[in-house]
Amino acid sequence: MTVATEPPKPPDEKSLPPPSPWRVRSLLMVPMAVLVALLVWYARLPSRNLSLPTGCIPAEGANTIDDRGLVYYDRILKKVGNHEVRFRLVKKMRATDPDTFYMMDNKVWNGLFAYFAEQRPDDVRNNEWQDGAHAPRTIPSVAEGVTTPAEDENFVNFRAADNPRLPVVSVAVEDAHRFALWLGGRLPGVDEWDKAAGMYDSDGEGPYMQAWDENSKDQIAVNRPYKGPMKVGTAPMDISPFGLRDMAGNGREWTRDLHATGHIPLPKPATKDMVMTRGNSHLSRQPLSYDDLEHGSGGVGKPEGTVYLETEPTLGFRVVLDPEP
């Protein structure tokens, strides 16, 4: 006769002994070891910081800006001889913007261009830049951009050798192009120039601080028929939303874009070829406005263009650098 027996009961949980401390520690060590391994692996990944453009270093007080996983410095500089050339980051913010780039804080100045001409004499094939900017001794009656001989007694001449911090002018576009290559960059495209001026990112009047008042003397380097241009970067109000100086006045600027299609340099430029320009000069009646950039017009100082093979005593340039991965 088989006697039925009940299965053994599991031990009461209250009667189980507590886990030993070494077992708790061993259980915790597994995820910690995994976490440490992940941290070591991540640290060994290639840096996500973009390399600086060749020869550049972060400017003092520069901040880093994260742009979709890539990190940029907002201000950089490049030392060229005794000169410090400073650049600011202009970041792509929308699909229609140009790609992120760096642009010179200031226009190229006489002393810097003179150093280039000394180092690379074969790259400067037009010496009109040495005459510098002009200012009429009397109220101007001619449209801006008319070339006047440097020795004309009706004009005051700000010769380059005597004014190293004034913006360089009367530079041929291909000489400007060769300078930009020497500096490690290029001339800006029209879309880049407009972006850096704040055309798409500001609700102000133009690439300058606060509203323009014609009585605000020397706040922006325009309407200076007797005084001439100002030293680069010294006009207190002429600062774009990206921190760039003298985009509203103190000299018009070459871009790399032709009025038709294509970019400089051309293998065989013709007299009819026109290069797009931007900015206003010290002879302009008022600062460059965003309305000027959007619509343009044929008046004095408006952002039109200049014949490829010509120079003008109100026309200079600045340089952009591309971030290097």
pLDDT digits over 53-105, tens only?
Answer: 999 999 999 999 887 778 899 999 999 999 999 999 999 989 999 999 999 99
Highest mean pLDDT among 150-164, 261-275, 287-301: 261-275
In this predicted structure, which of 12-16, 113-117, 281-285 has the lowest mean pLDDT? 12-16
Peptide bond into 265 cis (omega under 30): yes
Per CATH, which fold does 104-319 belong to?
Answer: paralog of FGE (formylglycine-generating enzyme) (3.90.1580)
Q: What mean pLDDT comes out for the span 275-296? A: 90
* Distance (Å, whole) CA 305 – CA 297: 11
Q: Which has the higher per-residue pLDDT, 300 or 226?
A: 226
Task: Note the pLDDT of residue 134.
Answer: 84
pLDDT band, very low/low/confident/very high, at 52 (cuts 50, 70, 90): confident
Task: Note the pLDDT of residue 175.
Answer: 98
Check pLDDT > 80 for residue 151: no
Highest mean pLDDT among 28-42, 184-198, 201-215, 299-313: 184-198
Both structure tokens of 303: 């952002």
* Distance (Å, whole) CA 280 – CA 295: 15
In this predicted structure, which of 7-16, 138-147, 286-295 has the lowest mean pLDDT? 138-147
Task: Note the pLDDT of residue 268.
Answer: 87
* Distance (Å, whole) CA 167 – CA 132: 8
Q: What mean pLDDT comes out for the span 142-171? A: 75
Task: Note the pLDDT of residue 213.
Answer: 80
Q: What mean pLDDT comes out for the span 267-286? A: 90
* Distance (Å, whole) CA 123 – CA 133: 21
Task: Note the pLDDT of residue 148.
Answer: 47
Q: What mean pLDDT comes out for the span 212-240? A: 89
Q: What mean pLDDT comes out for the span 160-176? A: 97
Highest mean pLDDT among 140-149, 225-234, 244-253, 293-302: 244-253
In this predicted structure, which of 25-39, 57-71, 139-153, 242-256 has the lowest mean pLDDT? 139-153
Task: Note the pLDDT of residue 80.
Answer: 97
Check pLDDT > 60 for residue 154: yes
pLDDT digits over 238-274, tens only?
Answer: 999 999 999 999 999 999 999 888 899 998 888 789 9
* Distance (Å, whole) CA 143 – CA 301: 8
Mean pLDDT of the residues in the chain? 84
Q: What mean pLDDT comes out for the span 131-145? A: 65
Task: Note the pLDDT of residue 39.
Answer: 56
Strands 70-73 and 64-67: antiparallel
3-state secondary structure the chain: CCCCCCCCCCCCHHHCCCCCHHHHHHHHHHHHHHHHHHHHHHHCCCCCECECCCCEEECCCCCEEEECCEEEECEEEEEECCEEEEEEEECCCCCCCCCCEEEECCCCEHHHHHHHHHHCHHHCCCCHHHHCEEEECCCCCCCCCCCCCCCCCCEEEECHHHCCCCECCCCCHHHHHHHHHHCCCECCCHHHHHHHCCCCCCCCCCCCCCCCCCCCCCCCCCCCCCCCCCCCCCCCCCECCCCCECCCCCCEEEEEEECCCCECCCCCCCCCCEEEEECCCCCCCCCCCHHHHHHCCCCCCCCCEEECCCCCCCEECCCEECCEC
Check pLDDT > 60 for residue 42: no
* Distance (Å, whole) CA 87 – CA 65: 15
